[in-house]
Structure 1
Amino acid sequence: MKEKQAIIEKTKMLFDFNDPTYMPAVKTGWLPDNLEGMTWGSKENGNRTLYLISDDNFRANQRTQLIVLEVKN
């Protein structure tokens, strides 16, 4: 079996959920927590989409949320 080389890429912050101007959190008071899933989606308008999902753990103080971010080139 042929060995594969790891690819190391530079990282950058795509989004900051702690940003006080994050509108859904300001309007609802619900900041995402307990993020359990993340995947890249298809390209929309030439930009990639990043899907995040959180789980409420059957607790009243948490929410199940599906968050879709558009990553602009």
Structure 2
Amino acid sequence: MIWANGSFEIAAAPVFVHGVAPGDVVLAARRPGDDGHWVQRIVHNSDNWLARVVPRGGRDLEPVVEQFRSLGCEA
């Protein structure tokens, strides 16, 4: 969601930005010659968190997913 003051609400797990999570509101700006928006700072912290899990060696992720779910997380 884009807000009028240049703020954006993070709607999904960000790929290239670390330190923010879905529901956070960030201030972002464009850089000259670049079409993307670059996060400058968090305006409102949603109290959500994000964990990135990287599978190695073809391991089954279901046990990891179940561990997070048992803690009440969406996975």
Q: Which has the higher strand share?
A: 1
**TM-score bracket relative to the smaller structure:** under 0.3
TM-score by structure 2 length?
Answer: 0.24
TM-score by structure 1 length?
Answer: 0.25
